[in-house]
Amino acid sequence: MCGITGWLDWHRDLSVDASTVRAMTETMACRGPDAGGVWLARHVGLGHRRLAVIDLENGTQPMRATHDGAEAVVTFSGEIYNFRELRAELTAAGHAFRTRSDTEVLLRAYLHWGEEFVTRLNGMFAFAIWDVRTETLLLVRDRLGIKPLYYAEYPGGVLFGSEPKALLANDLFVPEVDVDGLVDVFSVAAKRPGDAVFRGLREVRPGWIVRVDRTGTHHRRYWQLESRPHTDSPEQTVRTVRELLEDAVTRQLVADVPLGALLSGGLDSSALCALAAAGRSAEHGKLSTYSVDFAGSETDFKADALHVSRDAPYVAAVVDHLSTDHTSVVLDAPDLLGNLEATLTARDIPGVGDLDVSLYLLFREVRRHTTVALSGEGADDFFGGYPWFLAEANRPTENFPWSAGITNRNAMLSADLRAHLDLDAAMAERYAEAVAEVPRLPGETGVDRRMREVFYLQITRFLPFLLDRKDRMSMRVGLEVRVPFCDHRLVEYLWNVPWSLKRMGGQEKGLLREAVADLLPAQVLRRPKSGFPFGQSPEYLTAIRNAVRDMLGDPSSPARPLLNERALRELVDSDAWSSGTFSPPPWLPRALLLDAWLRRYRVRVRW
CA pair distance 587, 584, nearest whole angstrom: 8
Q: Which of 581, 578, 580 has its CA nearest to residue 544? A: 578
| Per-residue pLDDT at 294 | 76
User: What is the DSSP annotation of 155-192?
Assistant: TTEEEEESSHHHHHTSTTS--EE-HHHHHHHHSSS-PP
pTM: 0.95
226-267 pLDDT, tens per residue?
999 999 999 999 999 999 999 999 999 999 999 999 999 999
Please say if 2 is a catalytic residue: yes
- Within 302-339, residue ranges assigned H as helices are 312-322, 335-338
In sequence order, the β-bridge partners of residue 474 are none
| Per-residue pLDDT at 581 | 44
CA pair distance 374, 424, nearest whole angstrom: 37
| Per-residue pLDDT at 431 | 97
For β-strands 208-213 and 216-221, DSSP reports them as: antiparallel
Instruction: For residue 48, give the 3-state DSSP assignment.
Output: strand
| Per-residue pLDDT at 532 | 67
| Per-residue pLDDT at 272 | 98
CA pair distance 394, 552, nearest whole angstrom: 43
| Per-residue pLDDT at 582 | 43
| Per-residue pLDDT at 543 | 86
- Sign of the Cα torsion 418, 419, 423, 428 reads positive
Say if CB 312 and CB 301 are below 8 A apart. no
Chain centroid to Cα 188, Å, comes to 14
For β-strands 259-262 and 288-294, DSSP reports them as: parallel
| Per-residue pLDDT at 473 | 97
Instruction: For residue 123, give the 3-state DSSP assignment.
Output: strand
Say if CB 76 and CB 4 are below 8 A apart. yes
Which residues, in sequence order, are CB contacts of 174 under 8 Å at separation 6+? 200, 604
CA pair distance 372, 280, nearest whole angstrom: 14
| Per-residue pLDDT at 579 | 42
Write the single-letter amino acid at 233: S
Residue ranges, the chain, pLDDT below 70:
1, 282-283, 296-308, 333-334, 531-537, 576-585
CA pair distance 1, 77, nearest whole angstrom: 5
Whether the bond between 62 and the residue before it is cis, its omega within 30 degrees of 0, is yes
Question: Count of residues for the chain?
Answer: 607
Which residues, in sequence order, are CB contacts of 44 under 8 Å at separation 6+? 6, 7, 8, 9, 14, 130, 137
The CA R_g of the chain, rounded to the nearest whole Å, is 24
| Per-residue pLDDT at 536 | 58
Residue 322's alpha-carbon distances to 319, 477, 481, in angstroms, are: 5, 28, 21
Q: Which of 166, 155, 116, 180 has its CA nearest to residue 12? A: 155
| Per-residue pLDDT at 407 | 81
Query: What burial class does residue 301 get, using C-beta atoms within 10 Å of its C-beta: 0-12 exposed, 13-18 middle, 19+ buried?
Result: middle
**Residue 301 main-chain phi, psi, to 5 deg:** -60, 135
Query: What burial class does residue 316 get, using C-beta atoms within 10 Å of its C-beta: 0-12 exposed, 13-18 middle, 19+ buried?
Result: middle
448-497 pLDDT, tens per residue?
999 999 999 999 999 999 999 999 999 999 999 999 999 999 999 999 99
| Per-residue pLDDT at 576 | 67
